[in-house]
Chains A and B, each alone.
Chain A
């Protein structure tokens, strides 16, 4: 690496000498960088360029935005983790801090472990607080002024200086940086040139001033070849696009808004017909009650319809969700979970809507949930949700979270669907003539899924009455006990059919371990890493099952049955997944379940899982 051979310029080098790495072993492709800025300062482009340049060097990388619920002025952090092993969960310790926010700079440097690195605005004089971390002070304002004559652009350009400084320190390939930067400013040549000048200014300053004294370096790999980078919400939008969505209704809420915003861009680009007309309709509704009402109205009339929301919106949708279940209406509802209760921490992540969605609404109601655990699954499950909702004639919830939805993740490219759209059991006028009529809510095929007709079917017997009150197989109003019970029991059997149609869990088992781990969604990243930690540090083997849907597939029960103890890992306080499992599993099996929970608003990390499991196991 060419990083250790430059002249020293660190005024009060905390490591004390001018020598390379002070005898420490280099840490290659395995560390995290945290950039602390002010919300609204435009650091997003700079951070994304850092992330993409590491990716461009073939090194597995993940990025997490920790931002406040505020537009401008409050502190915000972006964390980039490079991991040669491909671990993409949040890493508990930060190795390198880039402190750009005067307000948090002191805390930022204090949060570093011994041996960490701080890059900061020189005037913050952070070297006074730590003698056990490497300090690289940079006169950002001076460097910015030199490359950016226009004062009003300096705030943005300043961020590119740290890209250059960090690039020099950790050995980022400048070709990869330039490529990422040019991509970022693809259609803005002038902006690209200006920003590139800033990156170079930072790089040159670091080259001339610092001798590398920390151990963190990057070396090219080939682990990202052919991979893409995308956030979960954009992946959901792509899934909906390729599922042939036609009606989209929404009410803005963090962190779900970008599902619909990305989708609108895609629809405008790919779903305008040659005559200029749209094969879709998007409506920004007046609230979530209206958004879900429109979804169900459109689903009833035969459209592939969806909305996206987060916890508070889910609460408002309760009454309609019950109607959707009982009147058997299709519609896809994306819930990008954030921290509750109430407004909670709107820009932090959690998995705490599980129970409320599972039984959303009054009476005996239950819903199908798909639980993606990666951006690829965001894509695949959103497409699958449209097939399932029409097949099952019931609302289907795709339950993602802020961590997955709003952060960038690497992934294998998405695959084009191999199966045609499943529009479910819809009878045409010809079918009705052949059958001589139909009973809307009758179980004809033994799978408890009835047949329906769409408004406009040109047959005198096509119409039926959809209502939230008591009805019989012919959709006629009734309050008869037998009719009600019959309907409720069929709906329960339909839920059993759903069990066989939803995505099956992913099981990673060696067949010898007595200990199992159960989890869903974004906990997957931490668990994958934690299992390695348990094995490497404690020689402790675990099996792992990742749940991908509710109702739970049969494999879940089998997995619990075949282990002595099963740790249910989730990101909420009340062990919501564990509660759902208790309701579903045979009583004897539930005694085996133990709980590991994480609920501070930050994405779950491997170390926390490992430590807790070790404690509970008494290893």
Chain B
């Protein structure tokens, strides 16, 4: 048959077009790093073929925390209060551990008001992809320094930051997160590969993504600007990721890379760019992060990975089904139980 027809839209393995992974139109500033991150989240979930209805997306408050509105509109979404998304995500995953959860936070949201919750989230190893869209400033309240701003960095107004930065990646590694990495919103390839690996991981994924704020922090003197990142980014590993549903093809030389089988059967290959880098060694990871920071380098890549440690929901040993929808027969004990308790109290 020689009829011409418009080509069918490209679909993923679930038969869904990428449109089904999009969200509302962004209201963030044009060029904001957060928008690029949303795009990569869309690509990652599309390419990994995750059913959008199986995803919960959660956030705190800030420009970054608005972004769940701009991806995965078929997923349930919760924009909570400033700095407290970890608690909401924890509750939601306790209620339904069969869901995949992604949390978006800002550097202000995480490293100041939300520091307490961040710390406890990391040590619980909740199965959540936690993304910090890190621009070193408070965007939504118009440009004050955040606690991840580097010592000596400058605001547009000339104000100089005189406090040291909190390194969320070192912290997360020390606290027990099982997948810790840093990327840059402008590095499409690396960020996408990291997000895909994150989807395959079961445990807390902590990704600090440097995401320049074009309105308040993308100028000379900022260490979170596009220009600074282009000049100072140092990838520690090159990330090769093969999802479980694709044939595993080996394209790296043996001996220079580190292979990890992810929970869903996917294959993560981290090709070493730094000679002595071992992503299963927490001490080296923290040491390298600190050394790089001293030199003004911004390391990117996956710093630490542990696919063995049980996640928080595993540790609780709850039934396989969501607690949220267990039927009454399984949640309300029988009358005999009450009678027995009453008899003991007489």
Contacts and interface: CB of A to CB of B under 8 A. Distances in A.
Contacts of A230: 345
B89 A297 contact: yes
B94 A281 contact: yes
A176 B77 CA distance: 60
Nearest to A417: B332
Nearest to A455: B76
Interface stretch (A103-111, A190-198, A462-470, A528-536): A462-470
B28 interface: no
Interface in B113-140: 116-117, 119-120
A247 interface: yes
Contacts of B318: 277-281
Interface in B69-92: 69, 73-81, 84, 86-92
B95 A469 contact: no
A5 interface: no
B331 A304 contact: yes
Given A244-B331, A279-B318, A270 B342 contact: no
B6 interface: no
A463 B53 contact: yes
B79 A464 contact: no
Contacts of B20: 460
A303 B79 contact: no
B341 interface: yes
A469 B331 CA distance: 34
B102 to A, nearest CB: 12
B117 A289 contact: yes
A420 B319 CA distance: 22
A244 B328 CA distance: 7
Contact of A301 (B95, B320, B341): B95
A294 B117 CA distance: 11
A7 interface: no
B88 A460 contact: no
A226 interface: yes
B56 A301 contact: yes
Main secondary structure of the interface of A (DSSP, over half): loop
A422 to B, nearest CB: 10
Interface in A346-396: none
B87 A246 contact: no
A230 B86 CA distance: 37
Contacts of A436: none
Nearest to A460: B74
B95 A293 contact: no
A353 B74 CA distance: 41
Nearest to A461: B74
B323 A280 contact: yes
Contacts of A591: none
B311 interface: no
B345 A279 contact: no
A455 B322 CA distance: 11
Contacts of A241: 333
A606 B51 CA distance: 64
Nearest to B72: A463
Given A247-B95, A278-B317, A463 B77 contact: yes
B92 A455 contact: yes
B333 A303 contact: no
B120 A286 contact: yes
A302 interface: yes
Nearest to A412: B342
B325 interface: yes
Interface string B324-346: 11101011110101110110011
A577 interface: no
A277 B315 CA distance: 11
A462 B53 contact: yes
A247 B94 contact: yes
Contact of A278 (B51, B89, B319): B319
A292 B324 CA distance: 17
B96 A455 contact: yes
Given A271-B333, A283-B90, A298 B326 contact: no
Given A228-B345, A298-B94, A456-B98, A277 B69 contact: no
Contacts of A227: 346
B316 interface: yes
A576 interface: no
B78 A297 contact: yes
A295 B318 CA distance: 17
Residue in B52, B91, B326 whose Cβ sees the most chain A Cβ within 10 Å? B91
A297 B322 contact: no
Given A276-B317, A286-B120, A466-B78, A270 B92 contact: no
B137 to A, nearest CB: 21
Contacts of B94: 247, 281, 283, 294, 297-298, 303, 305
Interface residues of B, number: 60
Nearest to A225: B346
Nearest to B90: A294
Nearest to B91: A297
B331 to A, nearest CB: 3
A305 B53 contact: no
Nearest to B339: A416
B87 A277 contact: no
A183 to B, nearest CB: 9
Contact of A465 (B61, B79, B90, B119): B79
Interface in A244-302: 244-247, 249, 270-271, 273, 276-281, 283, 285-287, 289-302
Contacts of B68: 465
Residue in B78, B99, B330 whose Cβ sees the most chain A Cβ within 10 Å? B78
A301 B117 contact: no
A208 interface: no
A602 B173 CA distance: 50
B261 interface: no
B53 A457 contact: yes
A276 B51 CA distance: 31
Nearest to A429: B53
Contacts of A277: 317-320
B309 interface: no
A270 B282 CA distance: 41
A243 interface: yes
A477 B81 contact: no
Nearest to B77: A465
Given A244-B331, A414-B342, A456 B92 contact: no
Nearest to A476: B24
Interface string B89-112: 111111110110000000000000
A549 interface: no
Contacts of A453: 76
A50 interface: no
Nearest to B76: A455
Interface string A217-230: 00000000011111
Interface string A431-467: 0000000000000000000000111111110111111
A238 interface: yes
Contact of A242 (B90, B96, B325, B333): B333
A271 B77 contact: no
B342 A273 contact: no
A305 B338 CA distance: 21
A117 interface: no
Contacts of B96: 301-303, 454-456
A413 B175 CA distance: 48
Contacts of B345: 228-230, 413
B117 A295 contact: no
B84 A456 contact: no
B227 interface: no
15 contacts: A242-B338, A271-B333, A279-B319, A279-B323, A291-B87, A293-B91, A296-B88, A301-B56, A301-B96, A304-B331, A305-B91, A454-B325, A455-B76, A456-B99, A465-B79
Interface of B: 20, 51-54, 56, 58, 61, 68-69, 73-81, 84, 86-96, 98-99, 116-117, 119-120, 316-320, 322-326, 328, 330-333, 335, 337-339, 341-342, 345-346
- Which A-B residue pairs are the 7 nearest by beta carbons? A297-B91, A293-B87, A302-B324, A244-B331, A303-B95, A294-B91, A301-B95
